Every structure is written in structure tokens, then in C-alpha cells.
């Protein structure tokens, strides 16, 4: 019996040891990925004052964080928007970028927005539910609130950059391409880390006119009825408006696809951009960055497209490319901020 207990104790110790070693290896690997992806930035509270959970509206998620570098009154703001497939994520997810550029002397902020499918809007919003359109309106309201807060703190924000990761990158580009000059603070340049630029690339079925026409038809099979409802829900996620069966058409779908695609709004007045995409990203293909780059090239818009050759959606396997993006953003700050 004693021998059995000894053996059991040895086995238990061995298992615990393996768990500890495994946890250490996993922890180090995670740390390495975060470091190589640029998501670890050392920060000391003496470097700046952080104002948390400031409000820009009455909605539950109408909050933002603002960092003002110590002993500075910057006139340039950098706003970062979190990702999460438009359905999840928090403003703190991009705090590493907030700290990175606050250390360089810029005012930095990150914001929450009402997410698809799970949040409700402020009652003053002219939309039936959260959508790309309501999110863009919230970005506008947030920037307006930051401008007012800046004046209160002695900072006259005259210029800004807006950027985001994944869904946040999409929203940053959508805002910048549509509101660069009408924004409460003029947008001097934009940043997209793996942000969808073309809804047709992200959701290829939207470009299949034959399939869409079948879904929009009066067919009442169980499969088509479900597809029709899914399509109406998707269109509402873009436009914020309820779409009836009678309103569904190939033209309606094409208009909504363009409405939700930053690519569609690129013009000669589009702000310059830093575009970062993963060469092995299966979620948001690097094709988004390439198409955005081509559109900007055709309009003479200054931009930098950086494809991480070995990275997927998290951009964490090409440390030198991470630094390349940081260097490019820094160069854009020096070039486009007065």
C-alpha cells in the first residue's frame, strides 16, 4: 500500500511538473507573439495622464479613454479603434498603440462603439440597430467630444490620425475616406491593421449576382427563406435600416456592399494611409490591402502597403515588419502633422 502511494505521489509530482513546464512554455510563446506583434509597450504613469471612461454620448458603450503626455499640450490626436468582428472587443484592446504614440508626444485615444447584434443604441440615433453607419456616426461624435475635452485640458486639437485593427481598421478607413474634411478634427492620415476594405472580398457571395437574385426571388423553400433572412440581417448590419422582402434586389445588395466598403470612397482627397496585412491571413485576406493600395495609387494618394509574409490575422510572426509599420506611422506623423 505504501509503495502504491509513493508511486502515485511520484506520478502526481511528474504531472504537476509537466503542467508547470507546459505553462511556462505556453506563457513564453504567448509573450513572444505579443512582443513580435508590437502589442507590448512599457508604460509608466508618469509619462502621461490617462482619462478613462469619458463619455461622448448616452449609449451604454459611448465611452473613450484619452491620454495626454506629461508636460505637453499637443495639437495632434491619434485615435485607435478596436477590432472584434464588429461584435466584440473593448477600447482597452488597443492600449498598446495608445501608449506607444503617447510616449512620442501625441495625444492618444481609444473608443468603444455599439456592436452588431448585442448592444443597443442611444435613443437619438437615427438607426434601427447598431450598424456600420451608426458606428461611423459614433466615431464622429467621439471625435467631437475629444475636441471639446482637449480644449478643457488646454489642448487645441487641430489635426488627427485615425486607425484600427481588423473591424476597427475597417471603421477607421470608412470614417477617413468619408469624413476626412468634415470631421470635427481634420484627418491627416489613416492606419489599417488587417482591416476589411472591400465587402465583396470579405463576403464573396455578395458579388454573385445569380445567387443573390435567387435569394431575392419569391422562392419559398426552407433554404432560400433562411438565406433571404440572413441577407436582410446582413444588409441591416451595413445600413442600419430594416430591409423588406419587396426591397431586396441585386441592386440593393450591390449598393449596400459599396456603402460598407472603404475602397468605394477612395478619391483624390482621401487621407494618406499606412496599410498592414498578413500574407497568410485567412480571415481578412491581404487582397484587401492590395485593392486599397491600387485604388489609392490610381487617385494619387500617398500610402504605404506592408504585407507580413509569414503572419496571419494577428500579425505576430514577422517582428521586422512590425517595426516597419511603426516606423512608417512615425514617418507619417512627422510628414502630415504640421
List the CATH number of the domain containing 312.
Answer: 3.40.50.1820
For residues 233 and 119, membership in a common domain is answered with no
Name the residue among 153, 188, 194 with its Cα closest to residue 289: 194
- For residue 191, the model assigns a pLDDT of 98
In a domain, 125, yes or no: yes
| pLDDT single digits (tens) 273-287 | 999 999 999 999 999
The pLDDT value recorded for residue 316 is 95
* Alpha carbon distance 65, 84 (integer Å): 18
Helical residues (DSSP H) of the chain, grouped into ranges: 2-36, 95-102, 132-152, 167-179, 199-202, 209-216, 222-239, 250-259, 287-299, 319-336
Residues 120 and 139 in one domain: yes
Q: What is the C-alpha to C-alpha distance for residues 326 and 204, in angstroms, rounded to an integer?
A: 32
Q: Is residue 185 part of a domain?
A: yes
Q: Based on the structure, what is the number of domains in the chain?
A: 2
Q: Are 296 and 158 members of one domain?
A: yes
Centre a 10 Å sphere on the Cβ of residue 70 and count the other Cβ atoms it contains: 13
Per the structure, the complete domain to which residue 213 belongs is given by 208-257
Of the three residues 257, 275, 296, the one that is the final residue of a domain is 257
Higher pLDDT, 174 or 216: 174
Task: Return all residues near 8 (Cβ < 8 A) that are at least 6 apart.
Answer: none
- Of 114-128, 278-292, 320-334, which gets the smallest average pLDDT? 114-128
Residues 114, 238 within the same domain? no
- One domain for residues 253 and 271: no
Asked if residue 291 is part of any domain, the answer here is yes
Q: What is the pLDDT of residue 32?
A: 58
Same domain for 313 and 252? no
d(CA 114, CA 142): 12
Across 208-239, b (16+ Cβ under 10 Å) vs e yields eeeebeebbeeeeeeeeeebbeebbebbbbbb
Residue 68 shares a structural domain with residue 214 = no
Residue 22 counted as domain residue: no
In a domain, 9, yes or no: no
Q: What is the pLDDT of residue 123?
A: 80
The model's pLDDT over 158-179, given as tens digits with 9 standing for 90+, comes to 999 999 999 999 999 999 999 9
Q: Are residues 189 and 237 located together in one domain of the fold?
A: no
Residue 35, pLDDT above cutoff 90: no
Within-domain flag for 31: no
In a domain, 24, yes or no: no
8 in a domain, yes or no?
A: no
Q: Are 212 and 179 contained in the same domain?
A: no
> Would you list the DSSP string of 256-317?
HHHHT-GGGG--TTPPPEEEEEETT-SSS-THHHHHHHHHHHHHT--EEEEEETT--TT--S
Same domain flag for 88 and 163: yes
Strand 63-69 relative to strand 76-81: parallel, antiparallel, unpaired?
unpaired
- Same domain membership, residue 121 and residue 157: yes
Same domain, yes or no, for 250 and 268? Answer: no
pTM, two decimals, is: 0.90
Amino acid at each position: 500500500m505504501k509503495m502504491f502511494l509513493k508511486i502515485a505521489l511520484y506520478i502526481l509530482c511528474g504531472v504537476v511538473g509537466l503542467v508547470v513546464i507546459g505553462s511556462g512554455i505556453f506563457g513564453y510563446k504567448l509573450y513572444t507573439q505579443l512582443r513580435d506583434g508590437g502589442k507590448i509597450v512599457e508604460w509608466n504613469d508618469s509619462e502621461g495622464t490617462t482619462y478613462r471612461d469619458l463619455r461622448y454620448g448616452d449609449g451604454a458603450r459611448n465611452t473613450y479613454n484619452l491620454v495626454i503626455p506629461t508636460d505637453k499640450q499637443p495639437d495632434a490626436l491619434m485615435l485607435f479603434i478596436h477590432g472584434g468582428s464588429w461584435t466584440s472587443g473593448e477600447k482597452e484592446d488597443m492600449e498598446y498603440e495608445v501608449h506607444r504614440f503617447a510616449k512620442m508626444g501625441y495625444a492618444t485615444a481609444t473608443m468603444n462603439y455599439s456592436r452588431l447584434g448585442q448592444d443597443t443604441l442611444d435613443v437619438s440615433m437615427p438607426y434601427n440597430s447598431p450598424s456600420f453607419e451608426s458606428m461611423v456616426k459614433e466615431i464622429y461624435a467621439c471625435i467631437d467630444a475629444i475636441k471639446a475635452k482637449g480644449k478643457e485640458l488646454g489642448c487645441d486639437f487641430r489635426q488627427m490620425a485615425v486607425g484600427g485593427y481588423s473591424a476597427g481598421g475597417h471603421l477607421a478607413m470608412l470614417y477617413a475616406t468619408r469624413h476626412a474634411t468634415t470631421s470635427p478634427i481634420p484627418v491627416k492620415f489613416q492606419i489599417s491593421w488587417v482591416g476589411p476594405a472591400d465587402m465583396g472580398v470579405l463576403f464573396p457571395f455578395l458579388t454573385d449576382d445569380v445567387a443573390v437574385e435567387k435569394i431575392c426571388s419569391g422562392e419559398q423553400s426552407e433554404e432560400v427563406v433562411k438565406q433571404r433572412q440572413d441577407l436582410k440581417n446582413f444588409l441591416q448590419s451595413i445600413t442600419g435600416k430594416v430591409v423588406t422582402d419587396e426591397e431586396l434586389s441585386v441592386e440593393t445588395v450591390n449598393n449596400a456592399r459599396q456603402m460598407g466598403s472603404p475602397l468605394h470612397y477612395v478619391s483624390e482627397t482621401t487621407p494618406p494611409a499606412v496599410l498592414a496585412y498578413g500574407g497568410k491571413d485567412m480571415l481578412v485576406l491581404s487582397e484587401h490591402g492590395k485593392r486599397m493600395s491600387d485604388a489609392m495609387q490610381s487617385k494619387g494618394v500617398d500610402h504605404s502597403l506592408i504585407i507580413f509574409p509569414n503572419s496571419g490575422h494577428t500579425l505576430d510572426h514577422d517582428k521586422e515588419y512590425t517595426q516597419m509599420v511603426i516606423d512608417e506611422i512615425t514617418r507619417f506623423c512627422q510628414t502630415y502633422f504640421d
